[in-house]
Amino acid sequence: MKKIAVSAPGKLMLLGEHSVVYGHPCIVTAVDQRMFCKAEFIERKDLLQINAPEVDVYNYAKSMNELGKGLVPKGAKFVEIAIKNFRDAHLFEDSIRITTSSDFSANFGFGSSSAATVCVIKALSELFELHLSNKQLFDLSFKTVLDIQGTGSGFDVAAAIYGGTIYFKNKGEVIENVKIDHLPLVVGYSGIKADTVTLIKQVAKLGIQKPELVEKIFFEIDGLVEKGKVALEKKDFDSFGKFMNQNQHLLSQLGVCIEKLDAMIDAAIRAGAYGAKLSGAGGGDCIIALCAKNNEQKVKKEIEKVGGEILDVTIHAEGVRIENS
Ligand code: PMV
């Protein structure tokens, strides 16, 4: 029976988290830690089977007509709803088995749910020989994320599809490639799992309580993203580092930073990084520090001293791709 295997990268947010939820711009880079998905037809009637051992899902089975109904295990949610949305858009009767695996832990905040969603839609698109465009992949994948989370900008979906480093705005209306060849980033994991939806809601609440403050913060982040894009393309790491620091300061004002992230960021700066900030929603997950090659070891050591775990990732990774044919 026909099978298709695909993979998609995780992501790190370079500048612009939170404000991007409200249509403002951000810069995100894809990382070479990938999510994998195999999709195959199976000789059963009306069945979806999911195996996702990395999130404790083993031989989960559901009638195709029941997708999205009843109790869905947390680890199977994005895969199941992705298939439901694909099936609603491109009617099919076949039974399918999906098997996922990942290079990285779902705890890092690299966007495993969005990468898995993109993988499933891409794999089905190829399995049924529809060869959906990236824009069609984005629309179905982003719908899936919104159906489940109820909120989000779609930046992580775009990173998983397009890869590289992208300037992203207005829920995907603008997706532009940022032309860089490398960026010397150190990534430190806090060991704490962030809850993105809770943090988005927290910022929304602050926006209701103090609209002028939040508007002003978002306006300043916009400026940093625009200047950051230019600095990146000019390889002006010194300036980009400063923009990261300023973005971090604004994220602290939004109230999404925590002590552990602050300690890791301060350690990186003390060790001579050009700049450092949290990446993603805040509340945990990872920090990124931009530093000269000859300073990298020192920055890593200082981050470790305050309890951070260094993750070995390369950025600007390739977007979703077929792994076999
Ligand atoms: O927590 P992460 O890594 O999924 O990043 C969330 C970034 C936000 O801007 C807060 C949310 C979003 O969807 O853009």
When pLDDT is averaged across residues 312-317 and rounded to a whole number, the result is 95
Ligand 1 touching residue 282 (CB < 6 A): no
Ligand 1 touching residue 200 (CB < 6 A): yes
pLDDT per residue as tens digits for the range 166-194: 999 999 999 999 999 889 999 999 999 99
Q: Phi and psi (nearest 5°) for 274?
A: -65, -35
d(CA 122, CA 190): 32
Q: Tell how far the Cα of 280 is from the centroid of ligand 1, in angstroms.
A: 5
CA distances from 317 to 7, 10, 154, 181, 189 (A): 11, 9, 18, 11, 19
When pLDDT is averaged across residues 103-121 and rounded to a whole number, the result is 95
Q: Which residues are catalytic?
A: 156
Does 253 score more than 60 pLDDT? Answer: yes
Does 261 score more than 70 pLDDT? Answer: yes
Token pair listed for 80:
């199941």
Q: Tell how far the Cα of 29 is from the centroid of ligand 1, in angstroms.
A: 13
Task: Give the residue from 306, 305, 313, 304 showing the smallest Cα distance to 279.
Answer: 313
Ligand 1 touching residue 20 (CB < 6 A): yes
Ligand 1 touching residue 280 (CB < 6 A): yes
Mean pLDDT of the chain: 97
Token pair listed for 38:
């195999």
When pLDDT is averaged across residues 13-21 and rounded to a whole number, the result is 98
Q: Tell how far the Cα of 293 is from the centroid of ligand 1, in angstroms.
A: 28
When pLDDT is averaged across residues 196-201 and rounded to a whole number, the result is 97
d(CA 292, CA 99): 40
Q: Tell how far the Cα of 62 is from the centroid of ligand 1, in angstroms.
A: 30
Question: Cβ(163)–Cβ(319) under 8 Å?
Answer: yes
- Tell me which H or E stretch contains 219: helix 211-233
Instruction: Report which ligand 1 atom has the smallest distance to the Cα of 279.
Output: 3
User: pTM value?
Assistant: 0.97
**What pLDDT, on the 0 to 100 scale, is given for residue 34?**
97
Using CA positions, which residue lies closest to atom 2 of ligand 1?
280
